[in-house]
């Protein structure tokens, strides 16, 4: 059932991406974010502008347009995930076995379900933590942080520096998380059913 759910979600996502043009999220950041929740109460692929705005709000109120556009482009065109789920809704995805391979980002308190190629998502989220939003920039992304092997280095940093964690079947279905990760009480409750492994 999980495989069918993810497959149908990705087909719908691909159709949306092919039929809709990339929209700017600059207005959403400056004039207030309108949350476009689907009927699960979580972000889908068609909510890339709003999801971009929510993620950047966790870092700054004045994100440069180059960062907004690059992050939104990645979420819209390249990222493969089922839903971006707020922490207070994540437990129901876990209980119903719909979380799949996921990434959890602590600062935004978002769990990205059904993630494919998780190191790329980890690297984009980690790059935000290394970004000086007040500095002038002409481009943004993992490769603006590291010139060589940026995805791998930033994905490692994401876990090792306690920015969040991920779950992958490659790791036996356990959560890969730093031993000194600072769990909140709510996070402990939500993810209690998973075993843990060090990176």
pLDDT digits (tens, 9 = 90+) for 65-98: 999 999 999 999 999 999 999 999 999 999 988 8
- Count: domains in the chain: 1
- Which among 10-24, 102-116, 166-180 has the top mean pLDDT? 102-116
Q: Are strands 164-167 and 196-197 parallel, antiparallel or unpaired?
A: unpaired
pLDDT band at 36 (very low <50, low <70, confident <90, very high): very low
pLDDT of 123 reads 97
Is the pLDDT score of 109 beyond 70?
yes
CB-based contact 67:55 (threshold 8 Å): no
CA-angle at 138, arms to 136 and 142, nearest 5°: 100
Helices (H) and strands (E) in the chain, counts: 8, 6
The β-bridge partners of 102 are 167
Which pLDDT does position 147 carry in this prediction?
A: 84
- Strands 175-176, 196-197: pairing kind: parallel
The pLDDT tens digits for 159-186 are: 999 999 999 988 788 999 999 999 999 9
Structure token pair of residue 125:
């989220």
Long-range CB contact pairs, 9-17, < 8 A, 24+ = 9/44, 9/82, 9/83, 9/114, 10/80, 10/82, 10/114, 13/44, 13/45, 13/46, 16/45, 16/46, 17/45, 17/76, 17/77
The pLDDT assigned to 139 comes to 95
CA-wise closest residue to 122 among 62, 178, 68: 178
Name which residue leads in pLDDT, 17 or 22: 17
Percent of the chain with pLDDT over 70: 79
Q: Is the pTM of the predicted complex or chain greater than 0.75?
A: yes
Q: 20 vs 161, which has greater pLDDT?
A: 161
Length of the chain: 199
- Joined together, the tokens standing for residue 51 give 């999801």
- What range does the domain containing 21 cover? 2-197
Helical (H) or strand (E) element with 109: none
What pLDDT is stored for residue 23 in this prediction?
33
pLDDT at 8: 43
The mean pLDDT value for 139-158 works out to 94
Residue 185 · residue 193 · CB < 8 Å: no
Confidence of residue 40 (pLDDT cuts 50, 70, 90): low
Buried b (16+ CB within 10 A) or exposed e, 82-94: bbbbbbeebbebb
Q: What is the rounded distance in angstroms from the CA atom of residue 14 to the CA atom of residue 46?
A: 10
């Amino acid at each position: 059932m999980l495989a069918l759910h993810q497959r149908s979600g990705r087909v719908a996502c691909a159709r949306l991406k092919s039929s809709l043009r990339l929209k700017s999220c600059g207005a959403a950041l400056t004039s207030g974010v309108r949350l476009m929740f689907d009927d699960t109460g979580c972000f889908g692929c068609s909510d890339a502008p709003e999801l971009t705005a929510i993620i950047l709000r966790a870092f700054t109120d004045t994100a440069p347009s180059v960062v907004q556009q690059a992050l939104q482009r990645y979420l819209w065109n390249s990222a493969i995930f089922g839903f971006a789920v707020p922490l207070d809704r994540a437990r129901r995805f876990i209980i119903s076995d719909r979380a799949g391979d996921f990434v959890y980002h602590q600062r935004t308190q978002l769990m990205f379900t059904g993630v494919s190629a998780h190191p790329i998502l980890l690297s984009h989220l980690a790059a935000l933590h290394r970004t000086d939003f007040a500095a002038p920039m002409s481009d943004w992304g993992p490769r603006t942080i590291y010139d060589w092997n940026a995805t791998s280095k930033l994905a490692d940093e994401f876990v090792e520096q306690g920015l969040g964690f991920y779950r992958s079947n490659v790791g036996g279905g356990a959560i890969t998380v730093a031993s000194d990760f600072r769990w909140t009480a709510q996070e402990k409750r939500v993810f209690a059913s998973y075993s843990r492994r060090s990176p």
